[in-house]
Structure 1
Amino acid sequence: MLRLTSGLRPYFLLIVLSLAVFLPGLASVPPIDRDESRFAQASHQMLESGDYIRIQFQDESRAKKPVGIYWMQAASARLLGAEHSIWAYRLPSVIGAMMAVLLTFAFGQSLVGRPAALIGAALLAASFMLVSEAHQAKTDAVLLACTVAAQGALARFYMAGNGAAKRPGQGSILIFWLAQGLGILIKGPMVPLVSLLTLATLWIADRRIGWIRGIRPLAGFLLVAAMVGPWVAAISSATGGQFVGQAVKSDLLPKLLGAQESHGAPPGYYLLLMTATLWPASLFAVPGFVRAVKSRQAAALRFCLAWIVPAWIVFEAVPTKLPHYVLPTYPALALLAGIAVAAGDGVLQSRWAKIYYGVCCLVGLALAALFVYAPIRLGSGLTWLSAPPALAALAGGLAPAILAWRGRIKAAVPVCLIGAALTYGLAFQTLLPKLDQMWVSQRVAALLPPGTPAAAAGFHEPSLVFLLGTPTRLTTGTGAGDFLLTTPDAVAVVASPDEAPFLATIEAAGRHAHLVGEVDGFNYSRGRPVNLKVWDLMGKP
């Protein structure tokens, strides 16, 4: 272990692991509805319009998130010359996820030592939720990198204040405040919220907070204002001051006061999901957390607990819940797992821990069953493509749990990492793209030459707009008919319920519609089957 943790070897190993779990499927998985496609389309429209201040989805202002992720995605697509390819918009998420992993090790080593930090960072890289977010053109992977940078710098000052480390230099101060500013530009107040909750908890626990003067709060606030202020002023000017108000009224307050977009769940939701969303790190993270609670007198453990517990409580209390909301706490949980494994702590061999290893086996079993069933339900039927990822999930779920149950904890870690890497790679690269019933928009786009003017009735998913183009009109059956009648060389994509009014509109004009193609699939955003027909006009008037 000493050889693996010396010099730059840990960074090399973590980069290789990150690439192995984050890259497969990046280009082969079609745009995902709805959030990813909305982000990617808004970034694409920045490139089309040259307007890098306002955030638009077609003609609608997208007052949901600040501008940071859109700038990153637009820059990625432009620099790579891949403005119509979803993978270019996903690349910032890959980089963000990788930075989160590397920063977890870089800052974690001053908290918990190199061996524990390496184990924790590797487990974070392989965690299901981070791998999922790295594959999507959204905010959360980049947000996690900002969170780790801010919390890691804060940890250095806390450890120095407890006499456990040398006082950090100007670089740590700069990292902390740059991470706060960038975090605000990515997802509003999330990074400051996590840091403030950590500070408040440590203040209550330690009954002192003098060490915070080391981060230069006044100068830091000015730096953050200089980073965020210009865009806030520009977007306020461009929208008549409406953007911030819309973001608060249409996004933030609904999440705080109710279950936005039917994403509600009772408190305890994240706790119940954690075994799966943190898998395979959850195998060691739960025992590691229990160990930390029992040994919370140690400054490093107290900091990790202050990072996790208050933020988790807030996320559980907010009515709107999505599985990725607690992702900012996962680096600290992974570090606690690393501490327990590196120390060979007895908690890993306790009776309840062995029972929990059995529970973790269920994740591998569930994934294997999902990989077999998904092509039957959403593909062309039972296929041999299910076998490799299903077997990898079984091995990756059962083998580490058995090794841990037998007390071979340090052997269980590389086995679970290899199993997870094989599972994700095979699932994202070979199986998921073949689930044709899910990728309705891609199949529609495949029927049409690029740049074909189109209207869609009854199927308004953002992925269709991204694939067919910004001018795609989302309308009714009657509206699709009118569009076809008035737009040369156009097509109409019409769902079954809108077919009758569409055809009636065409026939009322004395014209006839010609069926170009038909797509049957499953609209997973709505949880129901969908039938789409693509029409153009027959002959000339």
Structure 2
Amino acid sequence: MRAAAFLDRLPETRRPALWLVLLCVLLWLPGFFTIPAGDRDESRFAQATRQMVDSGDYVRIRLGEVERNKKPAGIHWAQAAVVHGLEAVGIPARGSIWAYRLPSLIGALIAVLATCAFGRTLVGRRAAFVAAAMLAPCMVLLVETHIAKTDGALLAAVAVAMGLMGRAYMAPGSFTAPQAAAFWAVLGVGVLLKGPIAPMVPLLAGITLAVMDRPAGAPLWRLSAPWLAALRAGWGLPLMVLCAAPWFVAIGIATEGRFFAEAIGGDMLDKVGSGEEAHWGPPGMYAAIFGITAFPSAWIVLRSLPGSWADRMQAPVRFLLAWAVPTWLLFEAVATKLPHYTLPAFPALMLLGARWAMDPLRQEAPAWMRWLGNAALAGVAVGLPAVFLGAAFYAGRGIEPFAVLGIAAGLFMAWALLRMARDGHWARAALAGAILAVPVYASVMEGVIPRMQAVWLSPRLAVQVAAVAPGLPADRFGVVGHHEPSLQFAMGGGIRLLRDGPAAAAFLAEAPGRIAAVNDRQESAFRAAAAERGLAVKELGSVTGLNYVRGRWVTLSLFKVE
């Protein structure tokens, strides 16, 4: 009874930011410091930043000796600033992956707080708090806080920019020049983080609103956008460009135009048309996995959609739909699909869900939608730790007790939330879902994943190399059959990525004091090539693990010339 009353009082708190920060800490810190650097994107971003810090070149982005002309430098600058800041106060951070994750976590926190602060204009103070609490535990956001790349920081830029745009839309007469400047400056930062994605969201929303707000019976070309003058695009657009242009000019000069050719032609257009890097997905995929990516809040958002569409003539609802729907549809149409792509639409969806949960006259969803939401909630609550129970068993951990505890926590979570839903306590269910997700996530992120040693092949190999050859320079180490970026982060960008066994033998023959790691598939060819060269090689040890990116077990043996 006391817990229920406490949950009912939470939307009335006078310190919503404090409660939200505490919630985010409880949700996101498990595993943040203990999960090793992952493959592949996280280690690519972190190692490129580390090379920036080591070299002092903050214009060009490199991974080893290869130019990485895919994304702008904004996230690398943020990561480098964190590393420099930590080292300035005596915390060794250059080789710690958690330091490179901090901008993602801070960005996610800003997005949650912005949803609460700016959402008040659209759905009211209490519902905005509930919406922010619904956003914090979304699984896709939790994952992004644990990955050192762009999307957590990008969400912060989108949430702040769209919050400011919402104020301009709702009250254009009171929208000030400093607020407009903040809107365009934040979009400029977003461009430095991930190119056109940040300005794309308000652009699509603005076009949608201008069409929807036109006078009844007016032709399509007679658009209505009084909020546009409040945004002061005349000087705002140049401000946005000014925030991003210096680096784009510098990188264009430094790479002789290769950055733009590769980033636009080789990265962006490939994602639109061909499902880059085997990440193709059919239209509708994001809707199909929404129950997972937005767990545990998806079941409330799903129930809110019919009522939100029915209330689309209300200005706040119209703005939130214009924020979420066009962005969502665009990503559904793009061939390349990754779960985090639709994240910029999540704050709007959570605000719609919280608005519905706080409305005593809420419109109930059809039975099939209610059943789908309930099934997604219960299925993910129990299924997430169950999947990692199986994964730990496959990786040789046996029956992982933390995963068993996670299953128990998931069962209790599903039972408690479905009971609240039966009684119609939807705001309480929204807040309880965020709180009850803490032990479910912690069991996996802190209890299981860091302890699955078999999948952390790169850090284990780096430890083995350090044990047999302390202080070995990176350029004296070569590897065959494990070219994962996590190994570059663990051992340095200067390591040699060798093609096959004969290349490893040639590498050892070129200079004394070198060590080569050769995978089991190439070991016979390596030994034969070494014998042909008259090399007497000595095995220094081996590491066996699961390359989870490729889905196969690998044994890497270390060799040197006697």
2:452 aligns with 435
2:536 aligns with 512
Cα gap change, 1:465 to 1:140, in 2 (>3 Å): same
Paired residue secondary structure (1:267):
coil
Paired residue secondary structure (2:454):
coil
**Structure 1 residue 478 corresponds to structure 2 residue 502:** yes
CA distance in 1, matches of 2:352, 2:380: 21
Cα gap change, 1:530 to 1:344, in 2 (>3 Å): farther
Q: Any residues of structure 2 matched to 1:329-340 within 5 Å, and which?
A: 329-340=345-356
Paired residue secondary structure (2:71):
coil
State the one-letter code of the partner of 2:254: A
Deviations 1:43-87 (A, max 9, x none): 000011110000000111101100000111111122212101100
Higher alpha-carbon deviation: 88-97 or 483-492: 483-492
**Structure 1 residue 415 corresponds to structure 2 residue 432:** yes
**Structure 1 residue 76 corresponds to structure 2 residue 99:** no
Deviations 1:475-513 (A, max 9, x none): 122222222233443321111222122222322232222
2:324 aligns with 308
Residues 357 and 401 in structure 1, CA contact (< 8 A), matched pair in contact too: no
2:546 aligns with 522
Higher alpha-carbon deviation: 347-356 or 178-187: 347-356
Cα gap change, 1:492 to 1:305, in 2 (>3 Å): same
CA distance in 1, matches of 2:125, 2:8: 9
Paired residue secondary structure (1:447):
helix
**Structure 1 residue 384 corresponds to structure 2 residue 401:** yes
CA distance in 2, matches of 1:366, 1:438: 21
Deviations 1:452-496 (A, max 9, x none): 231111111000111011111111222222222334433211112
**Structure 1 residue 536 corresponds to structure 2 residue 548:** no
Identity %: 39
Deviations 1:10-47 (A, max 9, x none): 00001111111122111210111000000000000001
- Is there any run of 5+ residues in structure 1 with no aligned partner, and where? none
- Within the candidate set 132, 137, 144, 1:126 is matched to 137
Give the TM-score normalised by structure 2: 0.92
**Structure 1 residue 136 corresponds to structure 2 residue 159:** no
2:36 aligns with 30
1:503 aligns with 527
1:18 aligns with 24
Higher alpha-carbon deviation: 521-530 or 107-116: 521-530
State the one-letter code of the partner of 1:423: V
**Structure 1 residue 492 corresponds to structure 2 residue 516:** yes
- Within the candidate set 212, 222, 235, 1:219 is matched to 235
Paired residue secondary structure (1:136):
coil
CA distance in 2, matches of 1:13, 1:98: 12
**Structure 1 residue 242 corresponds to structure 2 residue 258:** yes
CA distance in 1, matches of 2:437, 2:319: 29
Deviations 1:143-200 (A, max 9, x none): 0000001111100010014xxxx61222321221111100000000001111110001
1:281 aligns with 297
Give the TM-score normalised by structure 1: 0.95
Cα gap change, 1:107 to 1:223, in 2 (>3 Å): same
2:288 aligns with 272
**Structure 1 residue 102 corresponds to structure 2 residue 124:** no
- Within the candidate set 411, 436, 440, 1:394 is matched to 411
Residues 385 and 444 in structure 2, CA contact (< 8 A), matched pair in contact too: no
- Within the candidate set 106, 112, 136, 2:123 is matched to 112
Higher alpha-carbon deviation: 226-235 or 446-455: 446-455
**Structure 1 residue 469 corresponds to structure 2 residue 486:** no
Cα gap change, 1:354 to 1:242, in 2 (>3 Å): closer
1:91 aligns with 102
State the one-letter code of the partner of 1:480: A
1:367 aligns with 384
State the one-letter code of the partner of 2:151: D
CA distance in 2, matches of 1:206, 1:404: 35
CA distance in 2, matches of 1:354, 1:249: 43
Residues 306 and 365 in structure 2, CA contact (< 8 A), matched pair in contact too: no
Cα gap change, 1:58 to 1:295, in 2 (>3 Å): same
CA distance in 2, matches of 1:167, 1:141: 30
Paired residue secondary structure (2:166):
helix
- Is there any run of 5+ residues in structure 2 with no aligned partner, and where? 1-6, 88-92, 215-223
Residues 328 and 345 in structure 2, CA contact (< 8 A), matched pair in contact too: yes
CA distance in 2, matches of 1:241, 1:349: 53
State the one-letter code of the partner of 2:533: A
CA distance in 2, matches of 1:286, 1:113: 20
Paired residue secondary structure (1:18):
helix
Superposed displacement of residue 534, structure 1: 2.0
**Structure 1 residue 178 corresponds to structure 2 residue 185:** yes
Deviations 1:334-392 (A, max 9, x none): 11111011114443576345413431211112113213212101242212232222222
Deviations 1:241-262 (A, max 9, x none): 2211111111011011111111
Paired residue secondary structure (2:465):
coil
2:221 aligns with none
Higher alpha-carbon deviation: 504-513 or 115-124: 504-513
CA distance in 2, matches of 1:491, 1:205: 66
CA distance in 2, matches of 1:83, 1:481: 32
**Structure 1 residue 444 corresponds to structure 2 residue 461:** yes
- Within the candidate set 50, 54, 61, 1:44 is matched to 50
Paired residue secondary structure (1:520):
strand
Residues 180 and 192 in structure 1, CA contact (< 8 A), matched pair in contact too: yes
Superposed displacement of residue 8, structure 1: 5.1
2:219 aligns with none
Deviations 1:193-246 (A, max 9, x none): 111100010011111112211111021111112111111111111111221111
- Within the candidate set 229, 232, 244, 1:228 is matched to 244
Residues 381 and 440 in structure 2, CA contact (< 8 A), matched pair in contact too: no
Paired residue secondary structure (1:288):
helix
CA distance in 1, matches of 2:247, 2:409: 47
Residues 54 and 61 in structure 1, CA contact (< 8 A), matched pair in contact too: yes
**Structure 1 residue 295 corresponds to structure 2 residue 311:** yes
Higher alpha-carbon deviation: 109-118 or 343-352: 343-352
- Within the candidate set 195, 205, 219, 1:198 is matched to 205
Q: How many residues align?
A: 534
CA distance in 1, matches of 2:294, 2:459: 31
Residues 385 and 440 in structure 2, CA contact (< 8 A), matched pair in contact too: no
Consecutive aligned runs of 4 or more in structure 1 exceeding 6 Å deviation: none
**Structure 1 residue 152 corresponds to structure 2 residue 163:** yes
Superposed displacement of residue 407, structure 1: 2.1
Superposed displacement of residue 525, structure 1: 1.3
Superposed displacement of residue 532, structure 1: 1.6
- Within the candidate set 303, 308, 326, 2:342 is matched to 326
CA distance in 2, matches of 1:71, 1:357: 40
CA distance in 1, matches of 2:385, 2:372: 19
**Structure 1 residue 460 corresponds to structure 2 residue 483:** yes
Paired residue secondary structure (1:126):
coil
State the one-letter code of the partner of 2:57: D
